[in-house]
Amino acid sequence: MVAINADRLWGRIEALSRFTDPAAPWTRRSFDHQFSCGRAWLEQEFQSAGLTVSMDAGGNLLGRLPGTGSGACPLVSGSHSDTVPSGGRFDGALGLLAALEAAQSIQEQKISLSHPLEVVDFLAEEPSEFGLSCIGSRSWAGLLTASDLERRSPSHLTLAAAIDSVGGSAERLVSPLRGHGSVAAYVELHIEQGLVLAARNAQIGVVSSIVGIRRFEVTIEGRADHAGTTPMALRRDALVGAAHFIRAVDDLARARPGDHPYLVATVGKLSLLPNAINAVPGSVSMILEIRSTDPEAMTHFEGALWKQTEGELKPRGLRLVISPLSQTLPTICSPHIQDTIEQAAAAAGTRSTRLPSGAGHDAVFVARLAPVGMIFVPCKEGRSHVPEEWAEPPDCAKGAQILAETLVLLDQTLPV
C-alpha cells in the first residue's frame, strides 16, 4: 500500500481553508480575491511537492509528474478549490489536496508509474456568478459555447474576461482542450454529502454513477387583484397555484417505490409579482430541479408532474408555463475503476460499498473523454455546502491512501 502523510494532508486542508471571506466562512468564490490567493498558495504547494505546474486555457491549475511510458496518457486526479457562499472546507478541497498528497507520496516512495500523473484544480466547479458550474471541466470537453463565454457577472464582466484574468485563454476554448482518449483515467475523492455510508457501516463509498440534472423555470400565471376587495371565488391566485405545484413535486418524488433508480426533485427558488402585501399574486416563477441516475425516470416524473399540476390549476383559472433551462445526462462510472477502488479498499482493510452520487461533479464532463471513478468518505451528519460541513481527519487520510493505491493499481492495469 502507498503510505500517505496524514498530518501533511490535514495541514494543507487547514491552510487552504484560511483563504476565506472572514465575514462568511468558508467562502472562496471562483474569480474572487480569496480564490486567487488560494490558487497562488496551491501553486507553491504543487511545486514543493515536486510537480511541474502549468495553467491551461480553461483556467485549470495543473501539477504533473512524468511517467516512464513513452507517449502514455496521464492518470488524472483532483477536484476544485472554490466553494459555495458560506460553504464548507472539504467539498472540492479534500479531493484536490488528497490528489496532491497521493502524487507527493508516490514520488517520495519512488513508486515508478508508467503513466504521467496529473493533479488538477478545475476552475469554478460550483455555480459561479456567471450562472454556470463546472467551467474548467467543460473546457476540457469542449462544452463552453460562445454564448457561455459572453455571459456577464453582476459587475458586467464577461466569463471570457474572467477566465483570462486567472491565467486562462478564452479565445482557445472554441474546441476541446482534451481529446477523447487523451486521459487514461480520472479518479476523484470527495465527501459523501449524504448518509448512506453511515447507514451501511461503510468507511469508503465506491461511486457507481452520478446523477443527471434537469432544471426548468416553471411559471404559474394568474391575475393580480386587490387583496381586500376581490372575493375568494373570483381570485386567480398564482401563489396558491405555486403551492399546489410545490406540493405535487414533493408528493410525487416521495411516492416512488424504493430507491431504484435514485430520483430527487426540488423547488429551490421563487419570485412573484406584484409581491405586495395587499395584492393577490398574479405570477409566480420557480426553478424546478430534478436529479436521477435514470433519464427515463426523470421523463416519467416530469410527465406525471405536468399532468397533475395542469389538472389542479385549470379549475382555478391558472396557466402553467414550462421553460427548460439546462440538462446533464447521468454518468456511469467505469466498472474497471470501481473494481480497482474496491481492491484498494480491501487491501487497506476498509469496508466499502457502492452507491450513486446525488451531487454533480467535474467527473460528469471528464467522462466525455475518459473513464472516470469517484471515492466517497463520510461527512458529519451528511451535511455539505454549509459552514458546519466536516470530515474527520482519519477518514480524510484513509480516503487519500485508497486514492493513491487506486492510482497505482490503475497504472498497472491500464494500457500504456
Percentage of residues in the chain having pLDDT higher than 70: 100
Write down the pLDDT at residue 361: 96
Half-sphere exposure of 219 (CA within 13 A, CB side): 12
- CA neighbor of 400 nearest in space, from 329, 348, 337: 348
Q: How far apart are CA 220 and CA 226, in angstroms?
A: 18
- Binned at pLDDT 50, 70 and 90, residue 373 comes out as very high
In this predicted structure, the answer to whether residue 272 has a pLDDT above a threshold of 90 is yes
Q: Domain ranges for the chain, please list them.
A: 6-210+330-413, 212-328
pLDDT in tens, 306-353: 999 999 999 999 999 999 988 889 999 999 999 999 999 999 999 999
pLDDT in tens, 169-220: 999 998 999 999 999 999 999 999 999 999 999 999 999 999 999 999 999 9
Q: Under DSSP, is residue 207 helix (H, G, I), strand (E, B) or coil? A: strand
Rounded average pLDDT over 237-257: 96
Which class does domain 212-328 fall in? alpha beta
Write down the pLDDT at residue 45: 98
Q: By the 8 A CB rule, do 263 and 291 touch?
A: yes
Q: Under DSSP, is residue 271 helix (H, G, I), strand (E, B) or coil? A: strand
Rounded average pLDDT over 255-270: 88
DSSP state of 233: G
Q: How far apart are CA 256 and CA 250, in angstroms?
A: 11
Rounded average pLDDT over 236-260: 93
Q: By the 8 A CB rule, do 245 and 220 touch?
A: yes
CATH of range 6-210+330-413; options 3.90.1420.10, 3.40.630.10, 1.10.10.10, 3.40.50.150: 3.40.630.10
In this predicted structure, the answer to whether residue 257 has a pLDDT above a threshold of 90 is no
Relative to beta strand 319-328, strand 212-221 is antiparallel
Relative to beta strand 52-55, strand 185-191 is unpaired
- CA neighbor of 196 nearest in space, from 204, 185, 186: 204
Write down the pLDDT at residue 259: 66
**Is residue 64 within a helix (H) or strand (E), and if so which, with residue range?**
strand 61-65
Rounded average pLDDT over 144-162: 96
- CA neighbor of 56 nearest in space, from 126, 148, 121: 121
Cell of 237: 391566485
pLDDT in tens, 381-400: 999 999 999 999 999 999 99
Write down the pLDDT at residue 258: 72
In this predicted structure, the answer to whether residue 260 has a pLDDT above a threshold of 90 is no
Q: By the 8 A CB rule, do 272 and 281 touch?
A: yes
Per-residue buried b or exposed e for 235-258, using 16+ beta carbons within 10 Å of the residue's own CB: bbbbbbbbebbbebbeebbeebee
Cα dist. 329→179, 189, 214, 215 in Å? Answer: 20, 21, 8, 12
Write down the pLDDT at residue 131: 86
Which residues fall within 8 angstroms of residue 408, CB to CB, at 6 or more apart?
2, 106, 111, 113
Q: By the 8 A CB rule, do 181 and 370 touch?
A: yes
What DSSP line would sit under 297-346, residue for residue?
A: HHHHHHHHHHHHHHHHHGGGT-EEEEEEEEEE--EEPPHHHHHHHHHHHH
Residues found in the chain: 416
Write down the pLDDT at residue 321: 98
Half-sphere exposure of 285 (CA within 13 A, CB side): 9
pLDDT in tens, 294-305: 999 999 999 999
Rounded average pLDDT over 105-125: 98
Place of cell 446525488: 358
